[in-house]
Amino acid sequence: MLKTRKAKLKVFLIVIGMMTAGNLTVTRAMAGIVGSPHDFSGETWNPTGEICVVCHTPHNAGAGNAPLWNHTTTTAGFTVYSSPSLNAGVPQPAGTSKACLSCHDGTVALDSFGGNTGTTFIGSLGDAGIVLGTDLSNDHPISFPYNTALATADGGLYDPSTANSGLGGTINNDMLLNGNVECASCHDVHNSTGLPELLVKSNSGSALCLTCHNK
């Protein structure tokens, strides 16, 4: 119990101080692609010094898997995920996932953009974890429709058209791309959240997994 006005004022000032410090922390860890793992503006293999151009171009974009796509697209054949308990039919990677795999499968150089053929591959960065390769059988399935029918057939999935994603709307609206699970269901390529591993939401307590899986 705070008896005096002075004591109350002191607490008030401490709280303001904490809020200011908190705001400064937020500013430092600001989300966005600048300074994120996908900011390639300072890489020697990217002489443009720009960020977006590695993946997008405002003009003369290639027929692409993502909007105004400027990066050479992978032509690899992939081994897709399969298991006896899987209800979904998982096709070859498509859509925006193919855009991700155009660097992360390790077959197309990072600097193969704007019509140039580059020479720096993701495998040369010395981090095996970021190279998914062409064998996706050990990775979460992607590029398949996730809808009410799949949720019913599986029995352990939320209905994406009604279940809350925790991001403001339904799973379908916030996490699926044209109704499909893709890499971008779990990752934000532009780092808008500022979370580790470019995740769309924190996976603390497996919260990301439990958004879709009713386990």
Sites of contact with ligand HEC (CB under 6 A): 33, 37-38, 51-52, 54-56, 66-67, 71, 83, 85-88, 96-97, 99-104, 110, 122, 127, 129-130, 132, 140-142, 146, 150, 154, 157, 171, 175, 181, 183-187, 189-190, 196-199, 203, 208-209, 211-213
Cα–Cα separations (whole angstroms), residue 69 to 65, 93, 136, 189: 7, 17, 23, 14
Q: Which is nearer to ligand HEC, 19 or 135 (CB)?
A: 135
Least Cβ distance, residue 150 to ligand HEC (angstroms): 6
Least Cβ distance, residue 69 to ligand HEC (angstroms): 8
Nearest residue to 179 (alpha-carbon basis) of 190, 187, 191, 170: 170
Torsional sign, CA 74, 77, 79, 85: positive
Measured in whole angstroms, how far is the alpha carbon of residue 150 from the centre of its chain?
23
State the residue number with the nearest CB to ligand HEC: 129
Least Cβ distance, residue 51 to ligand HEC (angstroms): 5
Least Cβ distance, residue 49 to ligand HEC (angstroms): 13
56 close to 69: Cβ distance less than 8 angstroms: yes
DSSP code at position 144: E
Q: Which is nearer to ligand HEC, 3 or 84 (CB)?
A: 84
Q: Which is nearer to ligand HEC, 107 or 142 (CB)?
A: 142
Least Cβ distance, residue 60 to ligand HEC (angstroms): 16
Q: Which is nearer to ligand HEC, 13 or 197 (CB)?
A: 197
The pair of three-digit structure tokens given for residue 168, joined into one six-digit string:
């403001």
Q: Which is nearer to ligand HEC, 4 or 75 (CB)?
A: 75
